[in-house]
Amino acid sequence: MSKKELSKFEQDFLTFNLLDKNQKLLCTWSDIYPCLEDNTETTGFDAHYIYHPAWATRIIKNINPVKHIDISSTLHFCSILSAFIPVEFYDYRPANLNLSNLLSQKADLTNLFFESNSIECLSCMHTIEHIGLGRYGDPIDPEGDLKAINEIKRVVKKGGSILFVVPVGKPKIMFNAHRIYDPTMILNYFSDFELRNFSLVTDQNNFIDGAKINEGSTQNYGCGCFWFIKK
């Protein structure tokens, strides 16, 4: 905290107490909790993690499946989605969630226990890029991401949907955080699927619904959102 920030904070504290005639709640210096980085002109947000769940939720609303399977996406997604559709959430590190319409259990993306061609609608978002890098306690495996992709392709039934999100741009591994893929690589991995929609969060945090694949290739750390249909 700089001297200027401290002076402003102290002045705000004194002003508040002078104006607080009713004192319905006690405000003392011993209970201060300075939050000095929130006084901004606009509300900031993580564009990757705001836009991609919003993108997926809109698609699932249109699909309207009997049940949705989510594997290791952000917990905000499965917990909110379960308000209007039954959701099963699976993660290598299972989450202790207690909400109606939501089942949360353990699964290994490289060896899913679901039967082949059994799932109508599945999401795996901002997850595959981590598999095999050891970040979350999973075994080191350079091919872990491809094994996981093959598993989610296997378990989705013909005509079923996969909502798939990964970082896109100039391909590389930033060990042990994540991989970044050229979106053409993802199309090759899902060459036996139909691409129904590609959307993109750019390096400038803009969301493009229905982006061109080559727009994803020019990013450094974009967020590529792919809706695939199994042929």
Specify the 3-state DSSP secondary structure of 83.
coil
At residue 2, the pLDDT reads 85
Concatenating the DSSP letter of every residue in 85-134 gives S-EEEEESS------TTEEEEE--TTS--SPTT-EEEEEEES-GGGTTSS
Percent of residues, the chain, with pLDDT higher than 70? 100
At residue 207, the pLDDT reads 98
Pick 4 or 222 by higher pLDDT: 222
**How does residue 160 score in pLDDT terms, banded at 50, 70 and 90?**
very high
Q: Are 155 and 168 in contact (CB under 8 A)?
A: no
**How does residue 202 score in pLDDT terms, banded at 50, 70 and 90?**
very high
Calculate mean pLDDT across residues 181-192.
98
At residue 199, the pLDDT reads 98
All domains in the chain, ordered by first residue: 1-39 (no CATH), 48-230 (3.40.50.150)
Residue type at 37 in one-letter notation: E
At residue 17, the pLDDT reads 96
Cis peptide before 188 (omega within 30 of 0): no
Q: Are strands 222-230 and 156-168 parallel, antiparallel or unpaired?
A: antiparallel
pTM of structure = 0.94
At residue 1, the pLDDT reads 74
Measured distance CA(153)–CA(54) in Å, rounded: 23
Calculate mean pLDDT across residues 97-111.
98
* Residue range 44-68, pLDDT digits in tens: 999 999 999 999 999 999 999 999 9
Q: Are 223 and 205 in contact (CB under 8 A)?
A: no
Which DSSP category does 5 fall into? Answer: H
* Residue range 131-147, pLDDT digits in tens: 999 999 999 999 999 99
* Residue range 9-48, pLDDT digits in tens: 999 999 999 999 999 999 999 999 999 999 999 999 999 9
Helices (H) and strands (E) in the chain, counts: 6, 10
Residue type at 56 in one-letter notation: A
Q: Please, what is the average pLDDT of the chain?
A: 97
Residue 108 CB neighbours (<10 A)? 17
Percent of residues, the chain, with pLDDT higher than 90? 96
Structure tokens at 101: 């319409």
